Amino acid sequence: MSERDWAAGPPEERQESVLEPPPPEVEEVPGAAPASESEPESEFESEEGAAPMAAADGESVAATQAPADNGRAPADHAAGEFRVPDGYGVLEGAPQGARRSVGVVVSRFNGRITGKLLEGALAELEDAGVARDAITVVPVPGAFELPLAAMALAKTRRYACIVALGCVIRGDTAHFDFVAGEAASGLQLAALETGVPVSFGLLTLEDASQAEERLAKGAEAVRTGLEMADVFSQLRAAASA
């Protein structure tokens, strides 16, 4: 007997395999599409990046499938008017930039997006009354370097607030999580250690297509920084009165 015959098993085992009864036939349901052997075991592709399957109404399954964690689609922000009840002392700032200097740290990485964030931030600073010569822009290589630059500017005590702008886009590795997380915690640390407001204008995106509707984040970060700077100014004035 050849090696190929032995690889297939002894003769009696091969004979038993030949005599095995065929699998039971599945009764076809009228109108149902025939099953294909190449169909995946799961309704959804398991490989990352696979194209979503089409739903019956023409939308993709990925768009209609609810998140697995809570079974509900993500909710919008809870918009609405906020007010403090009457009878309480209120110390609230306003995004006013007159007689204030502002430092802006911005990441060059993903420059097509961060450049637009910077444009929006500079336009908002001008609208708020911040003089052009009172603005210092510090470009840095990437989002990971934002906290260090923000800390350095804040420690000079020359700026009423620091505006941090950047963009991190999720890739195929855990790099996104490390950079985004460390940038966020580092910027908060810079504010806590120096007492200078550091506003968060870092976009954290799943893909670049999400950037367009979030480019107003640059202007929003400016308003946040100026408002906090105004609160701190009022607080210092009240404490020294």
- Specify if 63 maps to a domain: no
pLDDT band, very low/low/confident/very high, at 136 (cuts 50, 70, 90): very high
The yes-or-no verdict on residue 238 having pLDDT over 70 is yes
Query: Could you list the active site residues?
Result: 175
Q: Which residue has the higher pLDDT, 115 or 75?
A: 115
Q: Which residue has the higher pLDDT, 71 or 236?
A: 236
| Mean pLDDT within 10-28 | 50
Q: For residue 173, what is the domain's CATH number?
A: 3.40.50.960
Q: Which of 9-13, 62-66, 174-178, 195-199 has the lowest mean pLDDT?
A: 62-66
- Specify if 40 maps to a domain: no
Averaged confidence pLDDT in the chain: 79
Pairwise CA distance, residues 112 & 122, whole Å = 16
Extended strands (E) in 32-113: 102-107
- Highest mean pLDDT (candidates 28-42, 81-95, 190-204): 190-204
- Specify if 34 maps to a domain: no
Domain housing 226: 102-240
Q: What is the pLDDT of residue 71?
A: 45
In a 3-state reduction of DSSP, which class is residue 68? coil
- Specify if 214 maps to a domain: yes
**Residue 183, CA distances (Å) to 65, 70, 146, 212 in order:** 31, 28, 7, 22
Inter-residue contact 95 to 227 (CB < 8 Å): yes
- Specify if 180 maps to a domain: yes
Q: Which residue has the higher pLDDT, 97 or 56?
A: 97
- Specify if 158 maps to a domain: yes
**Domain total of the chain:** 1
pLDDT band, very low/low/confident/very high, at 21 (cuts 50, 70, 90): low
Q: Which of 55-69, 190-204, 214-228 has the lowest mean pLDDT?
A: 55-69
Residue-wise pLDDT for 153-206, tens only, equals 999 999 999 999 999 999 888 888 899 999 999 999 999 999 999 999 999 999
In a 3-state reduction of DSSP, which class is residue 224? helix
- Specify if 175 maps to a domain: yes
- Specify if 67 maps to a domain: no
Write down the pTM of the prediction. 0.67
> Interhelix angle for 175-194 vs 146-155, to 10°?
10
